[in-house]
Structure 1
Amino acid sequence: MVGGAAYGGWALTLAPETTPTVRPDDGVSRPISEMPASHSPEAGDGPAAAPAPDWLPEIDYDPAPAGFPADPDTLDTTPLTEGVRPARRLAAYDAPGGRPLAFLMPTIRGVELTVPIARRERGWTAVLLPSANRRLAWLPPGGFRTVALRDQIVVERVPYRLTWYHDGEAKRSWRLSLGQPGQETPLGRTFILGRTPPPEPVYGGVDIYALGAVPDDPEAVPASLRGAHIGIHTWYHDGELGQSTTNGCIRLTSSGQRLLLAEVPPGTPVVVVDELPTPPPTA
C-alpha cells in the first residue's frame, strides 16, 4: 500500500494516557487570569472583547470554522517560544477587538491543548489555529496561561528533510517521505496537537503525532482519510524515503520517530517550507 492511511488521525482518539506529559522545564511563565477579558490587568489600552454568543462552534478535531485571518508569517522559521494553554472556554476572534467566531477549548478529544503564540498586539494574543492551515485566532487577555516552548520541527519539502531544534540549536536531521502530487504536505506553520497509538501494522508499532494542519485539498485524499489531520509518523519500511509517496503526511524512520516522541511535547511548533536558505548543520 503506497501512501495508504498516511494521515495520523483519520480515526484519531487522543487519549490522555497516550499523550506525553509536558516536561517540568516547559514551565509556566504567566499565571492564569480568571478575570473577564475586558477587565484583565493585562488588557492595557487594547480594544475590549465583544461578548461571544453561546451558540458559536467549538474548535475541535473537525475542520475549524471559516473567517479566521491568514498567518502573515506562515513561512517564517523563527522559533515560536511561547504557547497558550486555555484554562476555560475562550472566545477566539478574527482580530483584536474584532468578531468572535468560535470557542477555543482547554482540551481536544481529552488532550490538553497547547497552541503556539504567533504574535501579540494591543494586549491581545494571536495563536496558531488548530484544525486549519496557515490561520490565526486572536485571544483577549484572561483565561489562559503561557508556557515555554523549547523545541521546533522544521520540514523541508525539496530536500525531504526534517530537523529537530531545541533551544534554537539543531539537534538531529532525518530523511523523509512527503505528500504525493495533488496531496502535497501543506506549507506553513502548525504544531503538534497530540499523539495516538498506531492503528495499523503499516505504522511499524510506533505512535503517531497528529498536527494542527489538515489537507489543503480534502477532496484529493482517499475517502477513508476524509476529515484527517496531517501526521508525523513512521512506516513499516524505509524504501520510500526521499520520495513523494504519502497522502500528505510526514514520514520518517522509526528510530527518528521514537526519539521525537521521547523528547518533543505537544504544542511544539512545526513549520513546513520548500527549502531553508542554508542547510542545518545536522543535514
Structure 2
Amino acid sequence: MLFDRLFSRWALGWLLAAVGVPVLLAAALLVGRALTAGPAPAPVAAAPTAAIPPAPDEPSPSPEESVPAAAPAPDDLPVVTYDPAPGGFPADPGPADTRPLAEGLTPTRTVAAYDAPGGRPLAFLAPTISGVELTVPIVERRVGWTAVLLPSANRRIAWLPEGGWSTAALPDQIVVERRPHRLTWFRDGRAVRSWEVSLGMPGQSTPLGRTFVLGRTPPPQDVYGGVDIFALGAIPDDPGAVPTGLRGAHIGLHSWYTDDTLGKNVTNGCIRLTRSGQRQLLAALRPGTAVVVVDQLPAPPATA
C-alpha cells in the first residue's frame, strides 16, 4: 500500500479516481492526495519502559577545525518534492541505527542540499512539500554542516550549511520489525506501545532503513477504516514492481477496514496497523518523527 501524489494547499483529494474499491482491495490500498500537519501531541498515559539507549553526546569541535565553504548553488537545481528525489546524494551512514533521532530541521527558506560538507549542491529543500511544512530528522553534524534524512528517497542523506533553517525537538520514534511484524512506538527512547502490523508482500517489501513522517492525509476510501493516514518520506525500493496505478507513490503508515491481515505480508510496501493504534499515533506524532524499519531488534521491546 502506497501513498499517491498529493495536491498542494492542504486540500483533501482523491487518489486515482479511476481505480475502484475492488482494485484497492486486490492491489492494496491507495492514499489520498492532501497532506495535513498533525495535531499537537496528546498526553501519553502509558508508563514507558527502557528499550533504546540514547545517542551518545557528540564531541565539541575544536577551535582549529575549519568550516568547508558552501559552493554557490545554481538557480536551476531541482527542488525536492513528493516525486523521487534527485540522485547523487550519499547513503545514510546508519540506516539500521535504532538510536532516537531527537532533533529535526525545518527550512525557513529554500536552502541548497549538498552531497558532502563543502561538496556539490545537488538540489534545493523548500520549506514545504505539497503545502505541508517540511521537518527532516538530523542524523549527523560537522562543523558548519548538518546532515538530514532526504525526503522522497530511501536511505539517503543531504548536507546543509548553516543558515536558512530552524530546529525542533522530536521526542517520538517508530521502530518496525519485519520478521515479527511488530511496530513499537518510543518516546524519549522508551517503549510506550507495540502493535502487530501487516507489511509488504514479496517483491514489494516494506523498505528497510531510516525514514520519517512526512505528513498526514484524511482517508479517501472506507477501506482505511475512517482513520487518517501518515505519508512517510520513503518510496518503494523497486518502483517498477508496484502496480501501474501506484507509480510515483510513497510508503504509508495506516489502518485498514479489517484486522484479519495483521501479521502477514500483504501490502504494496505500506505498514498497516489497528485503527485504535493508528489513532494513538496520530494524536502523538508530529511531522519529522523518525521511523526505522529493521528485520528484527536484538531483543524484543518490553511492550512486545
Please, what TM-score do these two structures have when normalized by structure 1? 0.89
The corresponding residue for 1:19 is: 37
**CA offsets per residue over residues 215-244 of structure 1, 9 Å max, x none?**
000011111110000000000100011100
Contact 1:6–1:248 (CA under 8 A) maintained in structure 2: no
Report the residue type matching 1:130 in the other structure.
P
Give the whole-Å Cα distance in 2 for the aligned partners of 1:71 and 1:232: 22
Report the residue type matching 1:4 in the other structure.
A
Taking a change above 3 Å as real, the CA distance of residues 143 and 21 of structure 1, as seen in their structure-2 partners, is farther
Contact 1:7–1:230 (CA under 8 A) maintained in structure 2: no
1:139-178 aligned within 5 A:
139-178=160-199
Contact 1:7–1:229 (CA under 8 A) maintained in structure 2: no
Q: CA offset at residue 3 of structure 1? A: 5.8
Q: Give the percent of matched residue pairs that are identical in Structure 1 and Structure 2.
A: 68
SS of the residue corresponding to residue 230 of structure 1 reads: strand
* Stretches of structure 1 lacking an aligned partner (at least 5 in a row): 26-43
Q: CA offset at residue 180 of structure 1? A: 0.1
The corresponding residue for 2:6 is: none
1:234-245 aligned within 5 A:
234-245=255-266
Give the whole-Å Cα distance in 2 for the aligned partners of 1:175 and 1:3: 21
**CA offsets per residue over residues 97-123 of structure 1, 9 Å max, x none?**
000000001000110010000101122
The corresponding residue for 2:137 is: 116
Report the residue type matching 2:256 in the other structure.
W
Determine whether 1:6 maps to 2:29.
yes
Taking a change above 3 Å as real, the CA distance of residues 124 and 24 of structure 1, as seen in their structure-2 partners, is farther
Report the residue type matching 1:82 in the other structure.
E
1:217-236 aligned within 5 A:
217-236=238-257
Determine whether 1:256 maps to 2:274.
no
Task: Give the alignment partner of residue 218 of structure 2, picking from 181, 197, 216.
Answer: 197
Give the whole-Å Cα distance in 2 for the aligned partners of 1:153 and 1:263: 11
Taking a change above 3 Å as real, the CA distance of residues 171 and 213 of structure 1, as seen in their structure-2 partners, is same
SS of the residue corresponding to residue 162 of structure 1 reads: strand
Contact 1:84–1:115 (CA under 8 A) maintained in structure 2: yes
Aligned length: 260
SS of the residue corresponding to residue 70 of structure 1 reads: coil
Give the whole-Å Cα distance in 2 for the aligned partners of 1:63 and 1:96: 23
Give the whole-Å Cα distance in 1 for the aligned partners of 2:234 and 2:189: 23
Report the residue type matching 2:115 in the other structure.
D
Contact 1:3–1:245 (CA under 8 A) maintained in structure 2: no
Give the whole-Å Cα distance in 1 for the aligned partners of 2:101 and 2:162: 19
Q: CA offset at residue 5 of structure 1? A: 3.9
Task: Give the alignment partner of residue 297 of structure 2, picking from 236, 258, 276.
Answer: 276
RMSD of the TM alignment (CA)? 1.5
* Stretches of structure 2 lacking an aligned partner (at least 5 in a row): 1-21, 44-64
Give the whole-Å Cα distance in 2 for the aligned partners of 1:124 and 1:117: 11
Q: CA offset at residue 75 of structure 1? A: 0.4
Q: CA offset at residue 55 of structure 1? A: 0.3
Give the whole-Å Cα distance in 1 for the aligned partners of 2:272 and 2:42: 29
The corresponding residue for 1:30 is: none
Taking a change above 3 Å as real, the CA distance of residues 139 and 154 of structure 1, as seen in their structure-2 partners, is same
Give the whole-Å Cα distance in 1 for the aligned partners of 2:66 and 2:30: 44
The corresponding residue for 1:37 is: none
Contact 2:231–2:251 (CA under 8 A) maintained in structure 1: yes
Contact 1:6–1:231 (CA under 8 A) maintained in structure 2: no
SS of the residue corresponding to residue 277 of structure 2 reads: helix
